[in-house]
Amino acid sequence: MPRLGVNIDHVATLRNARYRADIDAVSAEPDPVLAAHEAVLGGADIITVHLREDRRHIHDRDLLLLSQLVRVKLNLEMAATDEMVGIACRVQPHTAMLVPEGRGEVTTEGGLDVAGQADRLKAVVQSLHDAGLIVSAFIDADTRQIEAAATAGFDICEVHTGPYARAFARAGGDMARDELLAELDKVADAGEDIMGANMRFNAGHALNYHNVGPIAALPGIGELHIGHAIVSRAIFTGLRAAVREMKDLMVQAASYG
């Protein structure tokens, strides 16, 4: 059964909407650290955060406290920059996941081009390995990128499920639609290639309570990283309940296969 990684970036986004200049204020809320606690009580196996270069949501203070207080796996999404490598080596999350990063994007769009910067990323992966970290690449479901990730020494590939999620929405979840089946097959085939290259197979991006089932049921998938859908539902149900509901859906899907 895949493990659930809950991305709490959007909790920090809400806090920063009012307290960006003073996130250490006693009144600064909601606190991502408390959100992590609630997520774990709801069944989260992993806490995921993305420390962006512009610090638009998660700040260094958040990452440091989470590294000290979270008792489950901590997954740090990060750009492959010298600054971020230094932070990861110092803070020591359990996993460092390299992602593409653009200042103008609302969220991460598209996978990391490992093939186009293979030599540099190989050096980054080695630096993170030397610090004792497990290293993951967020990539599209593309054989060329999978092969490059294996050559660069990545331990894990997380497949970008955005195209699948868009196809699911267009098809209204009708699994008889060829377009939707084709996108699901791309993720499944990528997973087989990843595992065939002796890397771990994870997935994430734009997964929600409606489309998560078919992805959670894929053979060999290790982790699903989900953020926006869970935080959105938490507005109405509370974070603990929102995480628990997502975890239950994943368990059911994995059980049915």
Query: What structural domains does the chain harbor?
Result: 3-256 (3.20.20.70)
Beta strand pairing call for 46-50 and 3-7: parallel
Instruction: Calculate helix-pair angle for 228-237, 9-19, nearest 10 degrees.
Output: 70
Of 41, 65, 39, 30, nearest to 51 (Cα)? Answer: 65
Q: How far apart are CA 28 and CA 6, in angstroms?
A: 21
Per-residue model confidence (pLDDT) at position 102: 64
Q: How far apart are CA 9 and CA 54, in angstroms?
A: 13
Across 119-133, b (16+ Cβ under 10 Å) vs e yields: eebbebbebbeebeb
For residue 238, which phi and psi values (nearest 5 degrees)?
90, 150
Tell me the CA distances in angstroms from 38 to 51, 53, 135, 151, 239, one per residue in order: 20, 27, 26, 38, 6
Q: What is residue 8's three-state secondary structure?
A: coil
Q: Which two structure tokens, joined as six digits, stand for 215?
A: 């992805």
Task: Please say whether the beta carbons of 63 and 51 come within 8 A.
Answer: yes
Of 148, 136, 150, 144, nearest to 225 (Cα)? Answer: 136
Task: Please say whether the beta carbons of 58 and 74 come within 8 A.
Answer: no
Of 103, 94, 169, 82, nearest to 132 (Cα)? Answer: 94
pTM of the model: 0.95
* 211 DSSP 8-state letter: T
Per-position pLDDT tens, the chain of length 257: 899 999 999 999 999 999 987 888 888 999 999 999 999 999 999 999 999 999 999 999 999 999 999 999 999 999 999 999 999 999 999 999 999 986 555 565 689 999 999 999 999 999 999 999 999 999 999 999 999 999 999 999 999 999 999 999 999 999 999 999 999 999 999 999 999 999 999 999 999 999 999 999 999 999 999 999 999 999 999 999 999 999 999 999 999 86
Instruction: Name the residues annotated as catalytic.
Output: 50, 77, 205
Helix (H) or strand (E) holding 152: helix 143-152
Q: Token pair 């910067």 is at which residue?
A: 117
My answer on whether omega of the bond before 163 falls inside 30° of 0, hence cis, is no
Q: Token pair 């059964």 is at which residue?
A: 1
